[in-house]
Structure 1
Amino acid sequence: MLELYQFEMSHYSEKVRLILDYKGLEYRKIEVTPGIGQLELVRMSGQRQVPVLKDGSVVIADSTAIAEYLDKQYPDKPIIPGDPKLRGLCLILEQWADELIGLNARKCLVGAMGQDQSFRTAVLPAGTPDIFKTFVGSVPGDFFSFLGIGVGMGPDAIKAAQAAMKHDLASLCFILMKQPYLITDQPTLADFAVAGLTMYVKFPAGNYLNIPDALKGKGISGIADAGTFYPFFTWRDKLYSDYRKPLATTNTSTGSGPTSINIED
């Protein structure tokens, strides 16, 4: 069986989970928990980031490389078009989603964590000690924002990311106005990248992720609850209901190799 080394709260892992479910592939999730470093991932793949897919003796790191491997190795229900023009559009949109939506969504999430203490503790990984949750929840929002400056996620960077996210979601609404998917009349890698990487902006409402109930269907104030972006999130909800398997149908286990929210690709 395929094994996905992942972090449940990783939006890049979610991109891969969407693809696996769409293709109807059985897989086992191995949660890579925070703590002692990414030793197991380094041993397996030579790098520290999630997601990592293991297919027998084959190990693939990076969500794009995983998607391309799955489409070649398991060609039923292809996600990368064969037509050269459509293939190019698909890959460009997927790269745009990875590099812009993924990064800006993370900054938006950091901004929301700085403003809302309960939201901040809700996004901590499963298994986080209660004492650490209490500490994180008690940190003043201003101090949290100050810490973000050192890693390029200060107030100005977050404000710019929120503006960029609103612009991108509006653009996606226009693209989807008269067509069911971004590239063709069937979902492609571009659709799954966009759907997965907007997870931090608004978490799926259904039973798709092992996250606190308080997070399901919730997201960034001013974006997730804005009527302007209702068409996009309606489209994404339908993509989930059509192709994403609920938690009960996916095997999950806990691995020994840790990760964190900022080590994804």
Structure 2
Amino acid sequence: MLELYQFEMSHYAEKVRLILDYKGLEYRKIEVTPGVGQIELYQLSGQRQVPVLKDGSEIIADSTAIAEYLDKKYPEKPIIPSEPKQKGLCLLIEQWADESIGLNARKGLIGSIGSNQNFRTALLPNSVPDVFKNLVGAIPQELFGFLGMGMGADAVKDAQAALKRDLTALCFILLEQPYLLGDTPTLADFAVAGLTMYVKFPTGSYLNIPEALKGQGISGIADVGTFEPFFTWRDKLYADFRKSSPFATPSGSSPTSIDID
């Protein structure tokens, strides 16, 4: 069985999970636990980032490389078009989603965590005691800016403005067609859907995340009606192709840091 070394909250891992579900491939999620799991991942793939896919003796790191591998190895229900122009557009949109939506969504999420106490505590697992949740909620916004590697208010504002432009463009593209490149879903659709996870977390049982977090996202984007056409499209994509999420098997237990692709 395919094994996906992942972090449940990684939007790049979510892109891969969407592709695996669309293709109907059985896979086992292995949650990369900071510490021992990070060492194991490095020994397996030569790097520390997730996602990493293990298919027998094949080890593939990076969400784009995984998508290309899956389409070659399991060509049924292809996600990369064969027609040259469509293929070029698909790969271009996927790269744009990785570099614009993916990076700006992370910055926007950090901004929302810093400015919204309720959203901040919603990120914590249900098993965390209320006393600790209250302490986390009381952390000053300025400290979260420091924890966000010094990212200031201007960086958050610029990221949110870029996301709004991206989502506006997507709404126009999807106005008269069911998918970004026409009548069939492609890698472009799954990249955009997965990488907007931080912008607004999907509802339903797709992700092993706290219930209070589902449907929440970046303030000023997730909670306004302007981009509802896009999120309605994404919700339908999830309903049509994403499976309920199985619990992941942990890979280690010692605390340290881990990078997210």
TM-score by length of 1: 0.91
In structure 2, distance between residues paired with 1:109 and 1:45: 29
Aligned to 1:41: 41
Q: Amino acid of the residue matched to residue 34 of structure 2?
A: P
Aligned residues: 261
Unmatched segments (≥5 aa) in structure 2: none
Q: Amino acid of the residue matched to residue 94 of structure 2?
A: E
Q: Does structure 2 retain, via aligned residues, the 8 Å contact 1:41–1:257?
A: no
Aligned to 2:236: 238
Q: Does structure 2 retain, via aligned residues, the 8 Å contact 1:54–1:60?
A: yes
2:176 is aligned with 1:182: no
Unmatched segments (≥5 aa) in structure 1: none
2:250 is aligned with 1:254: yes
Aligned to 1:144: 144
Q: Does structure 2 retain, via aligned residues, the 8 Å contact 1:7–1:259?
A: no
In structure 2, distance between residues paired with 1:259 and 1:197: 26
In structure 1, distance between residues paired with 2:256 and 2:178: 35
Aligned to 2:171: 173
CA shift digits 1:87-118 (9 cap, x unpaired): 00000000000011000000010001001223
1:42 is displaced (CA, Å) by: 0.7
Aligned to 1:71: 71
Q: Go from structure 1 to structure 2 and tell me whether the alpha carbon gap of 1:174 and 1:258 turns closer, same or farther (over 3 Å shift).
A: farther
Q: Go from structure 1 to structure 2 and tell me whether the alpha carbon gap of 1:260 and 1:18 turns closer, same or farther (over 3 Å shift).
A: farther
Q: Does structure 1 retain, via aligned residues, the 8 Å contact 2:37–2:251?
A: no
1:123 is displaced (CA, Å) by: 2.4
In structure 1, distance between residues paired with 2:173 and 2:255: 35
Aligned to 2:13: 13
Indicate the larger mover: 112-121 or 84-93. Answer: 112-121
Indicate the larger mover: 115-124 or 64-73. Answer: 115-124
Q: Amino acid of the residue matched to residue 41 of structure 1?
A: L
Counterpart of 1:139 in 2: which secondary structure? coil
Counterpart of 1:96 in 2: which secondary structure? helix
1:17 is displaced (CA, Å) by: 0.2
Aligned ranges 1:14-163 → 2 under 5 Å: 14-35=14-35, 38-124=38-124, 136-148=136-148, 151=149, 153-163=151-161
Moved over 4 A (4+): 124-135, 257-262
